Amino acid sequence: MIDNVVPQLMKSGTSEESKFRVILLIAKRAKQIQDGAKLLIHKVAWKATRMAREEFGAGLIRYEILPAVVR
């Protein structure tokens, strides 16, 4: 399922960690949509997860990977 969302990400030989990161980003965005956040894409879908996947696939979700904190 996730391979259909971002084909260019999966073709680049990403690790399982990267796929997990994509799933977490989509899940976080779906929660925001459920809580009433404004949609970034104008497609009709019944579920927040589907809308979040569409937004991510369209490159509308911005994120930043922070460096690991060494303790």
Residue 64 lies inside a defined structural domain of this protein: no
Q: What b/e sequence results for 42-54 when a residue is b if at least 16 CB atoms lie within 10 Å of its CB, and e otherwise?
A: eeeeeebbebbbb
End-to-end Cα distance, the chain: 36
Provide the pLDDT confidence category of residue 13 given band limits of 50, 70 and 90: low
Quote the number of domains for the chain. Answer: 1
For 43-71, the pLDDT digits (tens) are 777 899 999 999 998 889 888 888 889 98
Q: What is the pLDDT at residue 35?
A: 95
Instruction: Note the pLDDT of residue 12.
Output: 47
- In percent, the amount of the chain with pLDDT more than 90 equals 38
| Residue span of the structural domain in which 49 resides | 2-57
Residue 45 lies in a domain: yes
pLDDT at res. 19: 86
